[in-house]
């Protein structure tokens, strides 16, 4: 890194996990000194996406805090309540909203979409043993997830969405 900073004319970007940003910046200054240290910018993935969108455009939405997410999930539950088979009676339960937020987060991490959940629900209904309860749960979760994502992505963004947008922007 020191050799690159000494010989290079362009700024260097060092990508580190969020929790190591401060330590890395301090390490750069201690190792390279102030003059060479100014040639290195330490970025976490979040700061990288901010940097790219600032330079190339494309920033959209603000980050939502936990309270906003719960409110949006409660609105989503309310919007689809009459279509829910399993979770309809619990649609006003804040504990259910919290659990569903965790579940939606896990779905996003795994790359599972609401459409895929619906497809599995239909396949389960066709099984000879009739996995009706599981099928209905998956169908309900798919409906809730779609409603939540529609509300959420109208005005907000999250880290996973930012990362996906970043990848698309960098491919351009």
pLDDT in tens, 15-25: 999 899 899 99
pTM over 0.85: no
Two tokens at 1? 């890194």
What's the confidence (pLDDT) of residue 130?
64
* Packing angle of the helix pair 114-125, 132-155 (nearest 10 deg): 170
Model confidence at 59, pLDDT cuts 50, 70, 90, reads low
Beta bridge partner(s), residue 62: 156
- Residue pointed to by tokens 């947008």: 165
Q: Return the percentage of the chain with pLDDT > 90, whole number.
A: 51
- Among 36-50, 94-108, 112-126, the range scoring the smallest mean pLDDT is 36-50
| Best CA proximity match to 59, nearest among 157, 170, 172, 160 | 157
Beta bridge partner(s), residue 41: 13
Model confidence at 61, pLDDT cuts 50, 70, 90, reads low
């Amino acid at each position: 890194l020191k050799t690159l900073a000494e010989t290079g004319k362009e700024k260097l970007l060092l990508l580190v996990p969020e929790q190591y940003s401060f330590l890395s910046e301090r390490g750069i200054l201690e190792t390279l000194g102030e003059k060479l240290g100014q040639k290195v910018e330490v970025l976490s993935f979040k700061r990288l996406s901010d940097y790219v969108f600032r330079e190339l455009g494309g920033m959209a939405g603000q980050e939502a805090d936990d309270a906003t997410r719960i409110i949006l999930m409660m609105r989503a539950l309310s919007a689809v309540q009459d279509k829910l088979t399993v979770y309809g009676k619990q649609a006003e339960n804040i504990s259910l909203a919290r659990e569903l937020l965790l579940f939606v987060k896990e779905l996003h991490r795994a790359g599972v979409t609401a459409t895929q959940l619906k497809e599995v629900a239909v396949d389960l209904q066709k099984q000879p043993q009739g996995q009706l309860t599981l099928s209905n749960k998956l169908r309900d979760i798919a409906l809730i997830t779609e409603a939540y994502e529609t509300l959420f992505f109208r005005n907000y963004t999250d880290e996973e969405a930012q990362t996906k947008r970043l990848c698309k922007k960098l491919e351009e």
